[in-house]
Structure 1
Amino acid sequence: VGVCGVALTAEWLGTSTGFPFGEYRYTELLGPRIDGKVPWLIPASWFLMALPSFALAVERKESRLSQWLLGAVLLTAWDFSLDPAMSYLSPYWVWEGEGVLYGMPLLNVAGWLVTAFVIMAVLDWTGSRRVVEALPRGFLAGYYLAVLGMSFGMVLVGGLWISVALTIPVIVWIGSQWPSIRARTDVSGLAHAGSTS
Structure 2
Amino acid sequence: MTSRRVFRLTFGLFAATIVFAILGTLSLYIGPVREFFLPYYETLVAAPTWTYMALLPVVSLALYWEDLGVRRSLLFLLAASVIGAASELLGTNFGIPFGEYHYTDRLGAKILGDVPYFIPTSWYALGVLSYDLAGRLGGGRVARALGTAFFMVVWDVSLDPAMNQGGGTFVFWEYPGGGPFYGMPWVNWVGWAVTSIAISFAFDALGGMTPAPSAFVARWAPVVYAVNVLFPISICLLYGLPTAGVIGIATLALALALVRWRTPSARGVAVV
TM-score w.r.t. length of structure 2:
0.64
2:100 aligned with 1:20, yes or no?
A: no
| CA displacement, residues 80-129 of structure 1 (integer Å, 9 cap, x when unaligned) | 11111111312111111120111101110111111111111112221241
Q: Distance in 2 between matches of 1:124 and 1:113?
A: 16
Give the match for residue 111 of structure 1: 191
Code of the residue aligned with 1:178 in structure 2: it is R
Give the match for residue 152 of structure 2: 75
Deviation at 1:29, TM superposition (A): 0.6
Give the match for residue 128 of structure 2: 51
Q: Distance in 2 between matches of 1:118 and 1:162?
A: 30
Residues 137, 262 of structure 2: 8 Å contact kept: no
Q: Distance in 1 between matches of 2:248 and 2:91?
A: 24
Report the structure number with the largest CA radius of gyration: 2
2:85 aligned with 1:8, yes or no?
A: yes
2:222 aligned with 1:137, yes or no?
A: no
**Secondary structure of the structure 1 residue equivalent to 2:137:** coil
Q: Distance in 2 between matches of 1:158 and 1:2?
A: 35
Change (3 A) 1:61 1:17: same
Q: Which runs of 5+ in 1 are unaligned?
A: none
Q: Distance in 1 between matches of 2:202 and 2:93?
A: 24
Q: Which runs of 5+ in 2 are unaligned?
A: 1-77
Code of the residue aligned with 2:80 in structure 1: it is V
**Secondary structure of the structure 1 residue equivalent to 2:209:** helix
2:228 aligned with 1:147, yes or no?
A: yes
Q: Distance in 2 between matches of 1:63 and 1:74?
A: 17
Number of equivalenced pairs: 190
